[in-house]
Amino acid sequence: MSSQLVWECIKGHNSKLRKAAKGIVFSAEAGNLYNKHSYKYSGLVNAKTVDIAADGEAVKVTVGRAKNASKPRVAKFSMTMKKHSRGVCAAVGKQVASYRPDLKAAAQARAAAVHKSIRCARAKK
């Protein structure tokens, strides 16, 4: 099934929709870096998706393989990065720039936020 047909089916009724005041619609689906409810950023519809999440004390980057979109077992490829903050942002930027250049800035921002959230707080004296 084409991605545009899937989008037409799920765009109005979807369990991942989060409707806010004044008509603003967000999305909580995996693979949607901007959390906007739109065809371009949807992680459910597009075969080429990028998802960034925390995995213990590391940042996990998952990309969807467009060639194997119909095979769920091999459709996703994950990498775990245990680098410092700048290293994670640089590595994510290189990975995403070759895959989906339009999502590079969002992926780097999400990676920085995830890395900051898993960092331990300093002990106070």
Question: pTM for the complete prediction?
Answer: 0.84
Same domain, 37 and 73: no
The string of pLDDT tens digits covering residues 33-49 is: 999 999 999 988 888 89
Q: How far apart are CA 79 and CA 68, in angstroms?
A: 17
48: nearest Cα among 95, 105, 94, 108: 95
Same domain, 55 and 37: no
The string of pLDDT tens digits covering residues 69-85 is: 778 788 889 999 998 98
CATH number for position 24: 3.30.390.110
Same domain, 120 and 83: yes
Same domain, 55 and 40: no
pLDDT greater than 80 at residue 121: no
The range of the structural domain enclosing residue 123 comes to 48-125
Same domain, 66 and 27: no
Q: What is Dmax (Cα atoms) for the chain?
A: 60
pLDDT recorded at residue 90: 95
Determine contact, residues 43/1, Cβ cutoff 8 Å: no
How many domains does the structure of the chain reveal? Answer: 2
